[in-house]
Structure 1
Amino acid sequence: MLALLGLACGISLTPLNPALANDTQYPQKPISLVIAFPAGTTSDSIGRIFASELSKSMGQPVVVENKPGGNATIAAKHAVKAKPDGYTLFLTTNTSHSAAPWLLKNVGYDPIKDFTAISRIGNIPFILVANNNVSANKVQDLVSLAKQKPGEITYASGNATGILAGATFSNRAGIDMLHVPYKGSPNALTDLMGGRVDVMFNDLPSSLSYIQSNKIKALAVASAKPSAIAPDLESMEMAGINDFDLSAWMGVFGPAEMDPAIVNRLNTELNRIIADPAVYKKLSDMGFDAFGSKPDEFGQFIAAQLDVWGDMIKEAGIEPQ
């Protein structure tokens, strides 16, 4: 935690344009924070924390607008069309910028050129969970079960990360599981708890309460190394699944060609929010790994992640729809 706080606090910030630094210039009216996922999802819950804190520091309401659907492309296209004046911000994950361009034949935007990268705000760890009727309690138990029943074990997905994680896991483990896609994680979790699907890769924050109440069980974190947030769970590498390392990143964008002074102001405020111990603890308790970045670092990360996800999706044999 201290290291992460140090990172957030140690970011050097470009001085603001004096005109924009004046409170009478920006912001002068409410800011819209577009979120690519439905109300009640992990992204929505995290986004509302940032919206509330930004409202305090910016002196104007930050209003959340949920625009779910289309693997986050509906919200992304809405953000792209907005004026680059700092009054429309876009909180999203790898779904819209790393995965959708490879999962869909035409997303309707360029994930690099059509956006201004403001700040990465953290990672959402993913875990492999199962319904309580599944006899497997470890990853290798599931692999053995799937090999005994090829094509019979079902895995749900509620987002792009879940789709890719399930396909990559099946490929790396040498097993055949049946994919059952859902429009969102809440519906997939409901069916998982009800025993209508066997397993799924889901984000830790939205799974946590169900695991703690023994409504579902956790088998592993979807990363090569153990997670500090879920230290009791084995990693994929520990479970014998090599080259498997998946988590969902989260960040804030604006439309292309935003004023650098406004970008720096927003970046400063986002990093201050993450550096606040009380806010950091609230996010950490939810299972969110919060940390900040500079705008240029985030832009470079986005470009690299587009290639990484493209390679993984091709390797998993997922064809664009």
Structure 2
Amino acid sequence: MGHDLTEGLTQRLGGTFVADFRPGGSQTIGTRQVARARPDGHTLLMASVSVFTMVPFAVRNAGYDALADFDHLTMIGNTLFMLVGHPRWPTLEAFVAEAKRQPRQLAYGSWGVGSTSHIVMVDFMRRAGIELLHIPFGGSGPAITEILGGRLDLLFSTYASAKPHVEAGRLRGFGVPSAQRVASMPQIPTMIELGYEGFTFDAWLSVSAPAGTPAPILARLETALVDIFARPEMRQRLDAVGLEPSPPGAAALRESIRRNLDLNRDLMARAGAMAE
């Protein structure tokens, strides 16, 4: 996705844009670098929802303020999730009923404490009134392997990872935490349709600039980014990796960050993922 971003900006604005990947420190290293960069439009941050709305709770002194240290530009796509279960569970209703009869006896997986897959499940358990045993893994691959092997009962997987297993009958797709059904698997209901009112989950990617970037530069960047990611060929590439369209523009991104900061403060505490 970083290559798509730099290529699109180069074509749209001219000059040369280069992706500089800075992993580590729960994604705080690159984020801090951009927060402290000269606000001239030459340094941008492509980040996930967790950088702005989960890491600030999980990492003591992350080194940046999610709102004050950035001029946010736009969301570029939202990672689709799907709640999947081992095929021994015929329906989500049957699973929830059994989980209520046997608190903490049924297990779910995630790709780490405080990860998106963990937090969305914590939200589901809160809404369903159940307690499950959490088994974290080092990534999505091992979690998928374990649920396929029947050693897990439930998993919020990325849609792209779950889709082939659901289509083959190896996993049962229960629902998607989105406002509407996914066009490529219209038989899978939304969590809202299953009775979980308002249950959606934000897992977007976004682009931001350092705070203090001049307004004309911000306007030019925002317009270019919205145009790049609205193009049909880009939408096809995003669809291929399981990203759905997100509301474009700076205002929508800022509002989503504020809303998710409020929501995740409680969910991160419930998940035991708050910094001590």
* Alpha-carbon distance between aligned partners in 2 of 1:67 and 1:151, rounded to the nearest angstrom: 38
Q: Is the 8 A contact 2:103 2:130 kept in 1?
A: yes
- TM value normalised by structure 1: 0.73
The separation in 2 between residues aligned to 1:272 and 1:58, in whole angstroms, is 11
Say if 1:115 and 1:255, in contact at 8 Å, map to a contact too: yes
Cα pair distance change 1:209/1:253, threshold 3 Å: farther
2:160 and 2:181 mapped to 1: Cα distance?
13
Q: Distance in 2 between matches of 1:219 and 1:262?
A: 45
Of 223, 226, 237, the match for 1:282: 237
Distance 1:242-1:272 versus aligned 2 partners, 3 A rule: closer
Greater mean deviation of Cα atoms: 203-212 or 258-267: 203-212
Whichever residue aligns with residue 180 of structure 2, its letter is: P
Identify the residue that residue 205 of structure 1 maps to in structure 2.
160
Distance verdict in 2 for CA 1:149–1:48, change over 3 Å:
farther
2:46 to 80, 91, 97: 91
Deviations 1:70-119 (A, max 9, x none): 54333322322333233322111220112222334432211011112111
Q: By how many angstroms is 1:295 displaced? A: 2.6
Alpha-carbon distance change, 75 to 49 in structure 1, aligned in 2, over 3 angstroms: same
> Once superposed, which parts of structure 1, at least 4 consecutive aligned residues long, lie more than 6 Å away?
none
Read off the aligned partner of 1:179 and give its amino acid letter: H
Q: Give the superposition deviation at 1:278.
A: 1.8
SS in 2 for 1:303: helix
Structure 2 counterpart of 1:98, one-letter code: T
Letter of the 1:78 counterpart? Q
Which residue of structure 1 lines up, in the alignment, with residue 189 of structure 2?
Answer: 234
**1:161-192 deviation per Cα after TM superposition (whole angstroms, max 9, x unaligned):** 21211112222222221112234334433444
Q: Quote the offset at 1:210 in angstroms.
A: 4.2
After TM superposition, the structure 1 = structure 2 runs for residues 36-115 of structure 1, keeping only pairs within 5 Å, are 46-115=1-70
Q: Which of 75, 87, 94 lines up with 1:141 in the alignment?
A: 94
For residues 56 and 84 of structure 2, the distance between their equivalents in structure 1, rounded to whole angstroms, comes to 27
List per-residue Cα deviations over 1:199-256 (Å, max 9, x = no partner): 2212223433444455543221124x43244422122233233442223122101222
Aligned pair count reads: 272
Residue pair 2:56, 2:62 contacting (<8 A) in 1 also: yes
SS in structure 2 opposite 1:107? coil
Asked if the contact 2:229–2:235 (Cα under 8 Å) also holds between the matched residues in 1, the reply is yes
Structure 2, unmatched stretches of 5+, are none
Q: How far has the Cα of 1:291 moved from its partner? A: 4.2
Structure 1 unpaired stretches of 5+: 1-45
2:108 aligns to what? 155
Q: How does 1:28-43 map to 2 (within 5 A)?
A: none
Q: Partners of 1:319 and 1:279 in 2: how far apart? A: 35
Q: Which residue in the other structure is 2:175 paired with?
A: 220
Q: Is the 8 A contact 1:221 1:234 kept in 2?
A: yes
Cα RMSD of the aligned pairs, angstroms, is 2.8
